[in-house]
Amino acid sequence: MRLSSRDRRFSLSLVAPSIFLLLLVGVFPLVYLLVVSFQGITMTELDTSFQGLRNFRMLFDDERLWQSLLHTVIFTAIALPLELVLGLAMAQLFIDKLPGRPVFVALLVLPVVVSPIVAGATWSLMFDQRFGPINEVISWMLGGETTILWTIKPDLVYPAILLAEIWQWTPFMFLLLLAALSAVDKSQLEAAAIDGAGWWRTFFRIVLPAIWPVMAIAILIRALDLFRLFDIVWALTKGGPGTMTETISIFAYVKGFQQFETSYTAAVALMIIVLLSVVVMAALKRVELTR
């Protein structure tokens, strides 16, 4: 499309303020991180001399960093498929006529819109060893007083955090997939039924291809959210016990704002950005977001 010079000036004046602000938070931090990550600023010294790649070499030897990255991957690898499958199953349950459906859906929206930090606080109330309802129900089922330390015992912290995470975001998958399922062409489903195709066959041949574009975007959104997982873990364990549940975001927070390893944190933040950019670029190529 060819624009007259007046339209061109007009369109640029519309875009300029937004681009300016985006550069401020999009590009400035990147440049600043780059500068700081080559210096040697820590809590005790303000060493702004050029340190070369020292901070980046430290990245490779930092066991705790790679552990936190691994934890993040574990959370994502377990939570994402579970949220997807559960959300899809729920959508299937609600897709046919069901009395009171609007009420159910309105209630199921609630976890998604609660602040994640509040969701984490809520589950810390739920998991409380003595006054929480979860241990109470388990006690009742086992017929004796049980105190399970959900957020403290090493083999229980992951299930606890995952439960809270899945509780909050399964409804997100559910809502998106329900909308996608309602848009599937009914006549195709009827034709498949007449041809005698079974449920699974119909699902894989007709339903899944039809809802895939929405599903792909839902997966992308959730994967990126899980990669930055912070609030729920912060509320439940603060990354503990020890550093067992520390995610990459929590690690960066602790390094930067509790241990004040400024230059090293800059290197960590840069690594996060680069890592994510690669993944996002690859993902955006596959997902059809731009119409």
Cα gap 225→119, rounded to integer Å: 15
Residue 154 CB, nearest approach to other proteins (Å): 19
Cβ neighbours of residue 160 closer than 8 Å, sequence gap 6 or more: 123, 127, 150, 151, 236, 237
Nearest distance from residue 22's CB to other proteins, in Å?
Answer: 6
State the burial class of residue 74 (Cβ atoms within 10 Å of its Cβ: 0-12, 13-18, 19+).
Answer: middle
DSSP 8-state symbol, 85: H
- Three state DSSP letters for 270-283: HHHHHHHHHHHHHH
Shortest Å, Cβ 289 to other proteins: 7
Q: Residue type for 110, please?
A: L
Q: Which residues pair with 121 in a beta bridge?
A: none
Could you tell me whether strands 46-47 and 40-41 are parallel, antiparallel, or unpaired per DSSP bridges? antiparallel
Specify the DSSP class assigned to residue 260: -
- Give the contacts of 24 (CB within 8 A, at least 6 positions apart): none
Neighbouring-strand partners of residue 138 = none
Q: Closest separation between CB of residue 265 and other proteins, Å?
A: 6
CB 74 to other proteins: min, Å: 17
Residue 275 CB, nearest distance to other proteins (Å)?
10
Helix or strand holding residue 41 (H, E): strand 40-41
Residue number, 181 or 244, with CB nearest to other proteins: 181
Q: Give min distance, CB of 54 to other proteins, in A.
A: 19
Strand partners, 41: 46
